[in-house]
Structure 1
Amino acid sequence: MEFPSNTKMFFQNLKQCPICLRQFTPERIIYHENICKTSAEIQRSLFDSTLQRISGTEVENMTKREIFKSRLNDTAKSMIIFQNDVNQIAFVKQSKTKGPTQLSTNWRAKDVEFLKRVRNDKKPIESKTNNSPMIPKLECEDFLQCPLCLRTFNTPSFDRHIKVCVEVQNRKKSKPSVGYSKSDKISQEEV
């Protein structure tokens, strides 16, 4: 794209603002520098979304200073700042426990087992009449099996499930069959 010759002259005459490094014509640079200085000196307040979120709640009665202090304390507790080499700052999360943290060492084995379980559940179960092998159910050490429905759950879920499963099993047993079959109806009409 070719610019006209007067456009090239226009771009050559531009002067740069020392504050924001933008370029202006010589007539406008004087006005811009004054405005740019004043706007650079003014410190703008940062928008705090927590104050907006708490409006209309019980926490609104707290002063802004208390909220700000609590936020600072939380960040100070959760992070330690230390200086590495030259002007490098790294943040390290401080563990909430006082001793060394115990991470689960067998998470990868659990993940692999979970993926196998999902893949096996997606495969169709072949019938026993075809004499084809059924897909073996994978066993996991951390899961408990429900004696009623034979499903497996982790410990907290198992505690919740067992109550529901017992109720469902009791409901199934207590329902008597009330209806008549078609053969009973026909025999009653003939009589």
Structure 2
Amino acid sequence: SFSPNDLKPCKICGRTFLPAALKKHSPICQKSLVKKRKVFDSSRQRAEGTDIPIVKPIKQRPEPPKKQSNWRRKHEDFINTIRAAKGLGQILKEGGELPPPPPPSYDPDYVQCPYCQRRFNESAADRHINFCKEQAARITNKGKLGGDTKAKAIPRTQVIQFCIFYIYIQSR
């Protein structure tokens, strides 16, 4: 029999073995340290022996580079806005003249719409800009095709007047 004092640790993995077993374990442990294990694909194993086609694994897309956080600047803008609001409240209490409003702060992460000048995050901007482009095209086309809107309104009023006159005559 053996005692726990007889066990020796492996220099690679730290597990303890009897000296005879350690001689056998050390070269195997050295090989496994060098060789990387493949990721086990259980779906491939389940599909073996069946007529299910083995699907190639989907390649992972590289993650887009993360934008640097500008939280400090946003925080300073927020603090300045709060201070300006407090100062405005104080001036209103005292009845003094209002100072000019502070310039608007724009988030550089937002995309500006070229049609209406509003700002959106990237995903919302993609949707909005297409919508706004169509709206702008409709408005410009209305002006081109419509001609003079007053000219259209006059015949309508004449038709309505005629209808009222006709109803008036029929009721006599």
Same fold (TM over 0.5): no
More helix by share: 2
TM-score by length of 2: 0.31
Please say which structure displays the higher CA radius of gyration. Answer: 2
Q: Please report the TM-score for the alignment, with normalisation by the length of structure 1.
A: 0.29
Higher-strand-fraction structure? 1
